[in-house]
Amino acid sequence: MLKSAKRYIFLFLLGNFFLQGQDIHFSQFYFSPLSLNPANTGNFLGDYRLAMNYRSQWREIQKAYKTVSLSGEANLYPKNQQTSVGLYFLNDKSGGNLIVNKIYLSGAFHKKIAGVNLHLGVQPGIVLKSIDFNAHTFPNQLNWDKGQFDNSLANNETYISQKTAYFDLNAGVGASARVGKFEAGIYFAMFHVTKPKESLYANNNKLPVRQMFNLDTKYYLNEKFTINFYSMVDGTTKASDWVTGLNVDYNLNKTPFFTNAVFVGFMWRDGVHRISDAGIVTCGLKYKNYTAGVSYDINISTLHTATDYRGAIEFALIYTSKNTRLVKKQIPCDRY
Distance CA 216, CA 302 (A): 30
Distance CA 171, CA 191 (A): 7
258 belongs to a structural domain: yes
Sign of CA dihedral 251, 220, 49, 296: positive
* CATH, residue 266: 2.40.160.40
pTM above 0.85, yes or no: no
Of the pLDDT bands very low, low, confident and very high (cuts 50, 70, 90), residue 2 is very low
Of the pLDDT bands very low, low, confident and very high (cuts 50, 70, 90), residue 94 is confident
Distance CA 261, CA 280 (A): 20
**Which is more confident, 154 or 10?**
154
Distance CA 149, CA 140 (A): 9
Q: Which of 318, 257, 324, 289 is nearest to 77 (CA)?
A: 324
Of the pLDDT bands very low, low, confident and very high (cuts 50, 70, 90), residue 235 is confident
328 belongs to a structural domain: no
Distance CA 72, CA 55 (A): 19
334 belongs to a structural domain: no
Q: What is the pLDDT of residue 7?
A: 41
140 belongs to a structural domain: yes
205 belongs to a structural domain: yes
Distance CA 129, CA 30 (A): 26
Beta-carbon count within 10 A of 282 CB: 23
Residues 6+ apart with CB under 8 A from 36: 29, 30, 187, 189, 212, 214, 232
Q: Which of 211, 164, 125, 126 is nearest to 17 (CA)?
A: 164
Of the pLDDT bands very low, low, confident and very high (cuts 50, 70, 90), residue 4 is very low
Beta-carbon count within 10 A of 79 CB: 5
- Answer yes or no: is pLDDT of 1 > 60: no
73 belongs to a structural domain: yes
CA distances to 70, 102, 207, 236, 238 from 22, in Å: 20, 15, 9, 8, 8
Helix/strand/coil percent split, the chain, to 5: 10, 55, 30
Q: Which of 145, 126, 135 is nearest to 93 (CA)?
A: 135
Number of folded domains that form the chain: 1
Q: What is the pLDDT of residue 3?
A: 42
Share of the chain above pLDDT 90, in %: 57
Distance CA 125, CA 103 (A): 5
**Which is more confident, 101 or 331?**
101
Share of the chain above pLDDT 70, in %: 72
Distance CA 144, CA 141 (A): 9
Backbone angles phi, psi at 76, to 5 degrees: -120, 155
Which bin fits 240, alpha (ψ -120 to 50), beta or left (φ > 0)? beta
Q: What domain range includes position 29?
A: 2-320
CB 286 within 8 A of CB 303: no
3-state secondary structure of 323: coil
- Answer yes or no: is pLDDT of 42 > 90: yes
Instruction: Tell me the pLDDT tens digit for each residue of 124-150.
Output: 999 999 877 666 666 666 666 666 666
325 belongs to a structural domain: no
Q: What is the pLDDT of residue 138?
A: 63
Mean pLDDT of the chain: 83
Q: What is the pLDDT of residue 11?
A: 40
330 belongs to a structural domain: no
| Mean pLDDT calculated for residue range 243-259 | 92
Give the dihedral of Cα atoms 231, 269, 205, 96; nearest 10 deg. 130
Q: What is the pLDDT of residue 126?
A: 97
Q: Which residues pair with 6 in a beta bridge?
A: none
Residue type, 62: Q
Top-confidence range, 52-66, 107-121, 239-253, 264-278: 107-121
**Which is more confident, 287 or 312?**
287
Of the pLDDT bands very low, low, confident and very high (cuts 50, 70, 90), residue 13 is very low
Distance CA 65, CA 97 (A): 10
Instruction: Tell me the pLDDT tens digit for each residue of 170-227.
Output: 999 999 999 999 999 999 999 999 999 887 766 778 889 999 999 999 999 999 999 9
Helices (H), the chain: 2-14, 33-36, 304-307
Q: What is the pLDDT of residue 145?
A: 66
Of the pLDDT bands very low, low, confident and very high (cuts 50, 70, 90), residue 301 is low
Q: What is the pLDDT of residue 188?
A: 98
Q: What is the pLDDT of residue 139?
A: 64
